[in-house]
Chain A
Amino acid sequence: MHGMDTAIRCHDLKKTYDGKVEAVRGIDLSIQAGECFGLLGPNGAGKTTTIEILEGLLEPTSGEVEILGMTWPGHERELREWLGISLQETRLSEKLTVRETVELFASFYRHPASVPHVLEEMSLTEKADAMVGRLSGGQKQRLAVATALVGNPKILFLDEPTTGLDPQSRRQLWEIVRQFQQRRGTVLLTTHYMDEAERLCDRLAIIDQGRIIAEGTPAELIAGLSGHHVVEFAISGGNGAGEEIWARLPGVQEVRHEDGFFALQVDEPHHTIPALLEALQQKGAQLAHLTTRQASLEDVFVHLTGRHLRED
């Protein structure tokens, strides 16, 4: 199969700023051609540093990087022709129109895609003659991706592509990424939205404090949790029901207590919930809230780090 070529590979990547701040502390990645790979982690985890090293914009303090089988030194000119890059927070010139902006970026490539075609694909045709300064956040983000796609890239790098976007714009961008992937494109994106990682990525690496703490398909990562289901509840009355009581319930793998809620990670909710209700009755406590759901990547992150992806 063709799709088994390695598009991006890095080994023991490290980046230390000013000799002390260790942003990246040894990252290994191997991303196949045609894959959509996500770097998921909280702000400041080292995602942007990692992706910018892979994009050849930052030099690693140590470690190896290979993009499409080439290293950055000596192949920069050629590699740039094959990569489409969208940085976090680039502000394109406001006094140029959408079309002029995409044409400008198209002019940098030897074999660019057709500008009208890219505008059409990004749903920007209607806005082609509008000044960039007048676009909405979602349109600006689509334009940023358009400037990356106009070079006909083999690999698309997206750093936090949907941060700050409304749900509709986010879904629109996901659709664009899927279309690119259908044309056998490889995607590497960073995000701190677990739903984005879950829906969009074939595989992902969870990054925390400059290290990969878990890697796999979203399903694998969730399956790796002992307990694929989460039972969340809140109680009123009763006296000081501690975590240790809930941990003794059948099938409970892990107990978390935050903001007045208890979250039990369980294998089989249909065994745990009746036992939970019985325990509450014995303590004379009332159930104020009860939900069950499938475990998510957020639970994986909390399980691994004890913290949430988004602290805000």
Chain B
Amino acid sequence: MADLDIQTPPEEKLELPPMMNGRWAGYRALLSARMKELWREPEVIFWVFVFPLLLALGLGIAFRNKPADVTPIAVVSNSHTSSVMELLQHSPAKSAIHADVLDEKTALDRFRLGQYALVVTSDQNGLHYRYDPARPESVLARTQVDEALQTAAGRTSPVKTETTESSEPGARYIDFLIPGLLGMNLMNSGMWGIGFAVVDMRQRKLLKRFVASPMRRTDFLLALGSSRLVLMIIEVALLLGFGVLAFRMKVEGSLLAILFVAGLGAICFGGVGLLTACRAQKIESVSGLINLVMMPMWIFSGVFFSYERFPQIIQPVIKALPLTALNDALRAIILQGASLGSQWVPLTIMAIWGGLSFLIALKWFRWS
């Protein structure tokens, strides 16, 4: 019996190092696991970080401010052509207009294809302009060419005018675009990062496995939300940094205010994403739902162009969309240096969307 007492029973090995986990051990482990999973998923890196930069680069180049566009016009060749060309040569705007002399059929064909903005025909009765009122550059060309020809022919303006050219950073398309892309990106990654991830875990029965352990459900949701905030900081830094470095964009507002707005946006769309995903059992069905929710905001919320172009009657609806609120607040702070306080309306809209979605999602949420 004596040597039995001396020997340590093997099962005590397990109890010897008394491991103790603190209150937040689960949260920390969930967050760290989530971040590792994200980093190890090349698609995530591409869609969250690379894709918006490519989009900004592409659109920034396509809509860059070219020094005074040259207007391409066609002049129909006939016996009066040379006098028209002569007038153009003597006009002060000759460098802004490029005229090709063509037979009527070719000129009209190419006009139809958009190669020329205007077709000028001249005969004994004077000049005839063919333009397309639905094409802005065609409308502009008509005014521009008429002005040039009339001035060259000797018309004088009764009122003396002076103009100053203005193309300052802050008013260019790329300046408008970058905050919009940032907003859209926060929406995309919030909806996919939360909505898709949750349904994927539900489909894999991992959510069920988690709730079978003593994991706190609030820790799980907190960790998901926190992972969004970490990504948000990187998204903001990348897009704004890219705008500043590649397009000499000027950030007027405070960085803290920008991070606050972006963070609220990330949480808001995390909530909407959670609501979208609260019951779906299959990733196919949640993918459709996510696109359905995001589609109207891509169009109406002023990502690529100002929502002022939509009819007045739907403006209140557009302004109530969370992405509109996010884009408005981001633009006001980034481009105009607005204070956080002045943006209380869009911030409240985002808080309401995020808060309500989150509460409803929690009520309806299915862990299995």
Contact = CB atoms under 8 A, between A and B. Distances in A.
B368 interface: yes
Q: Which 9 A-B pairs have the closest CB atoms?
A: A107-B29, A80-B214, A91-B204, A85-B212, A95-B40, A108-B215, A107-B25, A90-B209, A183-B11
B363 interface: no
Interface string B159-180: 0000000000000000000000
Given A95-B36, A104-B30, A117-B13, A112 B19 contact: yes
Contacts of A268: none
Contacts of A107: 21, 25-26, 28-30
B317 interface: no
B329 to A, nearest CB: 35
A104 B29 contact: yes
Given A57-B211, A87-B208, A92-B204, 19 more contacts: A56-B212, A81-B214, A85-B213, A89-B205, A90-B204, A90-B205, A95-B37, A105-B213, A106-B29, A107-B25, A107-B29, A108-B25, A108-B213, A108-B214, A109-B214, A111-B18, A112-B21, A147-B209, A182-B11
13 contacts: A57-B368, A77-B214, A85-B212, A91-B205, A93-B33, A95-B40, A96-B36, A96-B37, A107-B25, A108-B21, A108-B25, A117-B14, A151-B214
Interface of B: 11, 13-14, 17-21, 25-26, 28-30, 33, 36-37, 40-41, 204-206, 208-215, 368
Given A100-B33, A100-B36, A183 B212 contact: no
A114 B16 CA distance: 10
Interface in A59-118: 77, 80-81, 83, 85, 87, 89-93, 95-96, 100, 103-114, 117
Nearest to B16: A114
Contacts of A49: none
Contacts of A298: none
B19 A111 contact: yes
A107 B41 CA distance: 24
A114 B206 contact: no
B212 A104 contact: no
A128 to B, nearest CB: 15
A87 B209 CA distance: 7
Given A80-B213, A96-B36, A152 B206 contact: no
How many chain A residues sit at the interface, stated as a range, is 35 or more
A80 B26 CA distance: 14
B19 A113 contact: yes
A90 B203 CA distance: 9
Given A80-B214, A104-B29, A107-B26, A114 B19 contact: yes
Interface of A: 55-57, 77, 80-81, 83, 85, 87, 89-93, 95-96, 100, 103-114, 117, 147, 151-152, 182-184
A80 B36 CA distance: 26
B12 to A, nearest CB: 10
A87 B212 contact: yes
Nearest to A157: B212
Contacts of B19: 106, 111-114
Contact of B213 (A114, A117, A151): A151
A135 to B, nearest CB: 15
Contacts of A91: 204-206
Contacts of B25: 107-108
Contacts of B40: 95
B328 to A, nearest CB: 37
Contacts of A183: 11, 14
A108 B26 contact: yes
Contacts of B41: 95
A117 to B, nearest CB: 7
A152 B124 CA distance: 102
A199 B36 CA distance: 41
A81 B18 CA distance: 15
A81 B216 CA distance: 12
